[in-house]
Structure 1
Amino acid sequence: MPRPPATRATALRRGRRGEDTTAAVRRTELPGGLRVVTEHIPSVHSASVGVWVGVGSRDEGRTVAGAAHFLEHLLFKATPNRSAVQIAQAVDAVGGELNAFTAREHTCYYAHVLDSDLALAVDLVADVVLRGRCLDDDVEVERDVVLEEIAMRDDDPEDTLGDVFLSAMFGEHPVGRPVIGSVDSVSAMTRDQLHSFHVRRYTPDRMVVAVAGNVDHDEVVSLVREHFGPHLVRGRTPVPPRKGTGRVSGRPSLQLIRRDAEQTHLSLGVRTPGRHWDHRWALSVLNSALGGGLSSRLFQQIREERGLAYSVYSTVDTFADSGALSIYAGCQPERFDEVVRVTTDVLAEVARDGITADECRIAKGSLRGGLVLGLEDSGSRMHRIGRSELNYGTHRSIPDTLAKIEAVTLEEVNAVARQLLTRQFGAAVLGPVRTRRSLPKPLQTLAD
């Protein structure tokens, strides 16, 4: 089992010219507040390049809900240097991948290529992010694409339920709104609104360029300077990691979506503190023990012992100032009452008695193995260092992270369980449910 390093040799050190270094991770801050973070992985023949922008759906006004995601689509349509076809041809010609995703607190544009094509990847991603054009005709084309994506989301019960659940948990708070927006907001959005969002929000002080793979840090910095050059204006420093706006007001609620379907789907959960919470590692262990794997308590009691559902799991969503621990299950409608009863009984039991020492040991082992196995490629390493810089402004080594997990005690996990699982629950239900009063009793209390 990995132990914390005996010295500070592998921890971030402040070097000359604003540069931080580790054995594999290096960081340079350029004029304008742009941060460049790299991780050298000599055993691979690839390079993953990501431009992380600290802007997401929670930064939108209600009238432009979905703007961050809409813009993510739009920037790939054309730049002054390339058409959409030329962008696609450039990446296909080297067998690479060019894509993006939008979340509630950030947006990431990324490319995955052979290490010999690093310069092309930096060029493509920078061209899209910095110089993507918001042309009127392209706005109309991508509007239809986004509306199709909303329709696709609506056809997927789990995706729909995920958005509705966060709305039940956070109400009018921005993290409670769907990243994708709504049919009404996307249909009404104008080219000027999207262009303004791009110009005002996509500034170097909100950006991190993260690169992982068989790459040289100094070469990456040189390429970034070349392609971001006119935007590297002195006098700005990086925007600090997001802290959020404080406590979420109101109580979690029940949201019900009546739909003819073969299954009834449930998401049930509680609010948690945000990602800066001191006990976030204990929360991860609790989540793993509840529903994070095949041996977890919910999986064993609902699927293995009773055969009530095929899919049942728990998950944690964390934001700067808030989060949610949730349980999902999908089952045949006639089994829904029993699924709810077993789920709420398990949560009450864990809140009262905690998890066992064996459950804690297995959960910690699962987290350690999942962390290391999930970082076997350059793409996952790029995501790790990009998120870390944007969310925390620091970089914890993998041995340090493993040590944090190992340091979690059974007592800490059970204290977190008592604190969180006795809170007001929120829930979302999707399926052939007639009325709120026809729901199982544990859910009816949420409807009052």
Structure 2
Amino acid sequence: MSVQIHTLANGLRVVTETMPGLQSAALGIWVNAGGRHERVEQNGIAHFLEHMAFKGTRRRSALQIAEEIEDVGGYINAYTSREVTAYYARVLKDDVPLALDLISDILLNPAFDAREIEVERGVILQEIGQSLDTPDDIIFDWLQEVAYPEQALGRTILGPAERVRSFDRANLEGFVAQHYGPGQMILSAAGAVDHDEIVRLAEAAFGHLPASPVSQADPGRFRGGERREVKQLEQAHFTLALEAPGYRSDNIYTAQIYATALGGGMSSRLFQELRERRGLCYTIYSQVGSYADTGLMTIYAGTGEEDLAGLADLTIEEVRRSVDSLSQAEIDRARAQMKAGMLMGLESPSARAERLARLVAIWNRVPPLEETIARIDAVDAAGLRDFAGQMVGSGQAALALYGPVAGGPSLGRLVERLAA
């Protein structure tokens, strides 16, 4: 498997990886513009723009977009995150030119028809309502908000309903003009692809775009805080966050191994102690999510109202204990889980294309898998304990509680117990 990178004269980067033996390809455009690139009055517009991608262009109607990709048995989709908006497709190898033509048409020639804007506005408002009715979705938005208060990084991707109701064609066009320049786009393709062909297609589709300044997001600063929403639900939902490294940090793999050992699987400490031994919850886990300049290690659990205080105390106790007592076997198990998950995921061309785009966005290169595995293997017990001690002892945390949580713990009390 070979990775190749080419940069067009206007700054658009093309990265490909040929996977011999495959008959299909995954490809797309990853735009380095997401929720954290929005001003406060724009909150939700990156996601709105993603929804409008399939609502018609100056060359194709929404139905024609759907029919052309499905006529060849392919699929096309998009997503918005806090740092990226991606437009991608999966097709058989002979249909790669069609897929790239569709994606480039969506990006370069959106119709932004007034009637379609209104239709999609209604769809997004329904999506916001659904999110508000899903406790284990909305609580992570609240946790993000209190972790990064009054910052773009702390605002929701969907945006508040009142903002979404106000967006018009001019707002959409303005965001595209500011953030969709070729220097913020990465064309990534993996599977049954030929690098030279992809570069030729990219030049034909995007080479005419003028180079433009690359817009930068404001830095994220973890502050911590608490949000408690009391509601009569069957479960009390508990989330706690500590600041973790950004994905350019030397400690990123240390943080991921630590979170996996703490709560990343059935053998992890949190799962074994709180679910298997105590029966205090059905779901409990910890994970690390990283951005360019910061990140979060989050712990989530759902429990009954009467068990919330005990669950919170035991969770804090396990976090404190883990700083000094994680065994070599636990660390090695978490390391193996991390490597296996990464390698298994990369058997998919879609996962490979996404990985290529993400790594080019971070490093402007694609480190060989051997280099990544070596960095994971280099994490040792002493370094992990030092890192965990600094993170747990930082004195800052974020807490979000939802459901029958009036009697739940305060953030101040939990932070004191962490530092004890």
Same fold per TM (> 0.5)?
A: yes
* Residue equivalent to 2:204: 226
- Whichever residue aligns with residue 99 of structure 1, its letter is N
1:248 has 2:221 as partner: yes
**Cα deviation digits, residues 62-116 of structure 1 (max 9, x gap):** 1110010001111211111100000011111122111000011111000011112
- Whichever residue aligns with residue 419 of structure 1, its letter is Q
* Residue equivalent to 2:74: 96
- Whichever residue aligns with residue 138 of structure 1, its letter is E
CA distance, structure 2, for counterparts of residue 409 and residue 330 of structure 1: 32
CA distance, structure 1, for counterparts of residue 335 and residue 16 of structure 2: 28
1:265 has 2:237 as partner: yes
1:25 has 2:18 as partner: no
2:165 is paired with a residue whose SS is helix
Q: Does the 8 A contact of 2:225 with 2:411 survive in 1?
A: no
* Residue equivalent to 1:148: 126
Q: Does the 8 A contact of 1:33 with 1:238 survive in 2?
A: no
Q: Does the 8 A contact of 1:75 with 1:133 survive in 2?
A: no
Matches within 5 A, 1:17-416: 24-231=2-209, 233=210, 236=211, 239=214, 245-246=218-219, 248=221, 251-351=223-323, 353-416=324-387
Paired residue for 1:439, among 399, 408, 417?
408
CA distance, structure 2, for counterparts of residue 446 and residue 422 of structure 1: 9
CA distance, structure 2, for counterparts of residue 92 and residue 115 of structure 1: 15
Q: Does the 8 A contact of 1:50 with 1:386 survive in 2?
A: no
Q: Does the 8 A contact of 1:245 with 1:321 survive in 2?
A: no
**Cα deviation digits, residues 241-275 of structure 1 (max 9, x gap):** x7x644616x3111112222111111101112321
CA distance, structure 1, for counterparts of residue 51 and residue 80 of structure 2: 10
CA distance, structure 2, for counterparts of residue 441 and residue 196 of structure 1: 43
Structure 1 residues 312 and 25 mapped into 2: Cα distance closer, same or farther (>3 Å)?
Answer: same
Q: Does the 8 A contact of 2:179 with 2:214 survive in 1?
A: no
Q: Does the 8 A contact of 2:248 with 2:362 survive in 1?
A: no
Structure 1 residues 212 and 406 mapped into 2: Cα distance closer, same or farther (>3 Å)?
Answer: same
CA distance, structure 2, for counterparts of residue 297 and residue 76 of structure 1: 45
**Cα deviation digits, residues 110-160 of structure 1 (max 9, x gap):** 001111211111111111111112221111111111101101111111110
C-alpha displacement of 1:440: 2.7
C-alpha displacement of 1:43: 2.3
CA distance, structure 2, for counterparts of residue 257 and residue 44 of structure 1: 50
CA distance, structure 2, for counterparts of residue 205 and residue 212 of structure 1: 21
- Whichever residue aligns with residue 430 of structure 1, its letter is Y
C-alpha displacement of 1:446: 7.0
Q: What residue ranges of structure 1 are gaps of 5+ in the alignment?
A: 1-22
**Cα deviation digits, residues 137-192 of structure 1 (max 9, x gap):** 11111111110110111111111011111011111121110011011111122221
- Whichever residue aligns with residue 122 of structure 1, its letter is L
CA distance, structure 1, for counterparts of residue 309 and residue 27 of structure 2: 48
Q: TM-score, normalised by structure 2?
A: 0.95
Q: Does the 8 A contact of 1:368 with 1:402 survive in 2?
A: yes
CA distance, structure 1, for counterparts of residue 360 and residue 110 of structure 2: 24
CA distance, structure 2, for counterparts of residue 238 and residue 258 of structure 1: 46
Q: Does the 8 A contact of 1:354 with 1:417 survive in 2?
A: no
- Whichever residue aligns with residue 400 of structure 2, its letter is A
Q: TM-score, normalised by structure 1?
A: 0.89
Q: Does the 8 A contact of 2:239 with 2:399 survive in 1?
A: yes
CA distance, structure 2, for counterparts of residue 73 and residue 245 of structure 1: 25
Structure 1 residues 143 and 317 mapped into 2: Cα distance closer, same or farther (>3 Å)?
Answer: same
C-alpha displacement of 1:56: 0.6
C-alpha displacement of 1:441: 5.6
1:123 is paired with a residue whose SS is helix
Q: Does the 8 A contact of 2:47 with 2:157 survive in 1?
A: yes
CA distance, structure 1, for counterparts of residue 236 and residue 73 of structure 2: 42
1:417 is paired with a residue whose SS is helix
C-alpha displacement of 1:320: 1.2
- Whichever residue aligns with residue 257 of structure 2, its letter is V
Structure 1 residues 198 and 296 mapped into 2: Cα distance closer, same or farther (>3 Å)?
Answer: same
* Residue equivalent to 1:428: 400
Percent identity of equivalent pairs: 36
- Whichever residue aligns with residue 90 of structure 2, its letter is H
